[in-house]
Chain A
């Protein structure tokens, strides 16, 4: 897993981010809109939903 402590993810709150080598290469609120980017990645990315601070669940 990437060391997200090194990454400033707060600007992506509530969004899906696509990460390769600890770099966010794409982001969107709807993961379906990231499909083209993900399909064209040269290596398998990590896809993560960045928690929204307003959600109590996590």
Chain B
């Protein structure tokens, strides 16, 4: 079975709508409790990226060495970490250990991004753009 999510709609300042493939992502915090966040599925991103304040809020343990990574917005310092991520519907539930890059610039205004490495290996992901839906079918990573 595949889990189907509808794109969410966000009003722009000019009143027009932006539609984007955000899904509910449950992440374990440092107290082992699950909290629900909206995450952007981004097939153009190599890695999963977490904003700095979200990582601090969750108590995510970050590795000590800061690295540089590049995005459309420019170069940003990141630290590697892992989080326990759960994707679920009423019928299905999948928990995986997700490698993430934690952006070190707290001013960087990004959502929680689910990129390819660590996430896309676990699901067959279909962007049904004409229907404004996205489906995730769990597969075994190779």
Contact = CB atoms under 8 A, between A and B. Distances in A.
A1 B37 contact: no
Main secondary structure of the interface of B (DSSP, over half): strand
Interface in B60-119: 71-73, 106, 109-113
A1 B6 contact: yes
A52 B10 CA distance: 10
B12 A52 contact: no
Main secondary structure of the interface of A (DSSP, over half): loop
Contacts, number: 88
A31 B112 contact: no
Chain A interface residue number, banded: 20 to 34
Contacts of A56: 72-73
A58 B56 CA distance: 23
Contacts of A49: 38, 51, 54, 109-112
A21 interface: no
Interface residues of B, number: 35
Contacts of A7: 11
Given A46-B38, A51-B18, A9 B11 contact: yes
A23 B53 CA distance: 23
Interface of B: 5-6, 8-13, 17-18, 20, 22-24, 34-38, 40, 42, 51, 53-54, 56-57, 71-73, 106, 109-113
5 contacts: A30-B53, A38-B35, A48-B37, A48-B38, A58-B40
